[in-house]
Amino acid sequence: MINQQATHRFARSTMRWTNVIGVAFAALLLVALSLPASATKIERVVSPGGIEFWFVRDGTVPLVAMEFAFRGGSVQDPEDKGGLAEMTVSTLDEGAGDLDGTAFHGRMERKAIELQIRASREYVRGTLRTLKENQDEAFDLLRMALNEPRFDSAAVERIRSQSLVSLQRQSTNPNSIASRNWWASAFPNHPYGRPVSGTIESVTRVTPDDMRDYARRVLARDNLKIGVVGDIDPETAGKLIDRTFGKLPAKAQLKPVPDIKIQGLGGRTLVDLNVPQAVVTFGGPGIARNDRDFMAAYIVNHILGGGSFSSRLYREVREVRGLAYGVNTSLMWLEHAAVLIGGTATRADATGESIDVIEAEFRRMAADGPTQDEFEKAKTYLKGSFALNLDTSTKIASQLVQMQIDNLGIDYIDRRSGIIDAVTLDDARRVAKRLLSQGLLVTVVGRPKGVTARPPGG
């Protein structure tokens, strides 16, 4: 969660970065965009203290960016204290070591240091960005945040208050309601079914001791992935990483999370809310990232709903019938489940037709798969667009961490186009049937006309 205070801090920091290195950073973007993905040389480095990190050296401008991730996330929240992970990471930089929150942020702002730490379902991820001349202080502040968080009562209550305000807003936001209800129906009695931000009741129960315990259990060296990019040599980076992460616990104490399959397929849930449009969230089984059919599924999803203005769903729902401004789908792979999830918003009197069109397109793609033309265009786009994920040092660092999380191998960027090329039209058609023929779980928020709830399998 990026709370309101953190957003203001980020805005001030961004303005300072613009003043200090605006011209140089613009030059870096132009250079990066002109390079092929294969021009990014990735090194696997092990620090003197034994911490592995992936590294890309780029001296174009005097910047250093680091992305890091700890396996854990909100699935490690106690069932009655949802939101603990998010509250914990939001408080890490609200005072650490001998610095209270004001002093901590004052030091970051004076040196234009950017630090963001956030929680998702399965990971705590952080981004550090700094000018080369300030790298020692930047890494030292991160060390303090991870190793010596204060969790002062005033800071905890401030973060709690911001969380409660956010949750109150979400309780009347149709998109938030639809998402929460969909995940709860898809994964009942499982950590995936609980919202990352928790609930008003659960956030109220979280104590500073809970936050200290969460940090101690999750922030450990054995579940840590790191990517470093910028104007720094690997030896210096290794020493900074040891200083930052070396004193964390050697092993995390994570509670096991069971594998689960999506529930409720074929069912429709209606949530009454007096809003002018109905919000629809829909989804079904996805495919694991390590599955041999993943890239074929990725291509199929792009054609069906992931390709924005070029997708079948966009064309049929918006362009042909004018039922909604947009509709999309995406693959989401988690450690213990995978889903294909999508959404749209439409007029109350057009909701039933929109859902019918979406379900018909799922059935049509499952039955016939993509056309040759759709297939070739999707492959070309997916190969060419990947470079957009590598146009800044921060994006590259994030990609390095994601590649480690997904166990793709350090040469994945070089191999990716070949993996896409190896997928055949027959593969895509076979995987479309596998991926899309099991039905959808649909959640509708609003006052749709002509739409009724139905049980799973209905």
DSSP per-residue codes, 296-333: HHHHHHIIIIISGGGSHHHIIIIIIT--EEEEEEEEEE
pLDDT in tens, 336-355: 999 999 999 999 999 999 99
246: exposed, middle or buried (C-beta count within 10 Å: 0-12, 13-18, 19+)?
middle
What's the mean pLDDT in 218-241? 98
Task: Check residues 188 and 36 and name the one with the higher pLDDT.
Answer: 188
Query: Among 310, 314, 330, which Cα is nearest to 322's?
Result: 314
What kind and span of H or E run contains 163? helix 153-170
The per-residue pLDDT for 450 is 84
Cα of 222 vs its chain's centroid, Å: 21
What's the mean pLDDT in 112-130? 98
What kind and span of H or E run contains 283? strand 277-285
pLDDT in tens, 1-38: 334 444 444 444 444 444 444 434 444 444 444 444 44
The per-residue pLDDT for 388 is 87
Q: Report the distance separating Cα 181 and Cα 341, nearest Å.
A: 13
Q: Report the distance separating Cα 146 and Cα 136, nearest Å.
A: 16
Query: Among 89, 66, 86, 68, which Cα is nearest to 77's?
Result: 86
pLDDT in tens, 397-438: 999 999 999 999 999 999 999 999 999 999 999 999 999 999
The per-residue pLDDT for 457 is 81
Residue ranges of the chain assigned to CATH 3.30.830.10: 4-24+35-245, 268-446
Q: Report the distance separating Cα 397 and Cα 375, nearest Å.
A: 31
The per-residue pLDDT for 193 is 98
Residue 131 token pair:
């000018």
Residue 206 token pair:
């979280």
pLDDT in tens, 386-399: 988 899 999 999 99
For residue 128, is pLDDT > 90? yes
- Report domain 4-24+35-245's class: alpha beta
The yes or no reply on domain 268-446 and CATH 3.50.50.60 is no
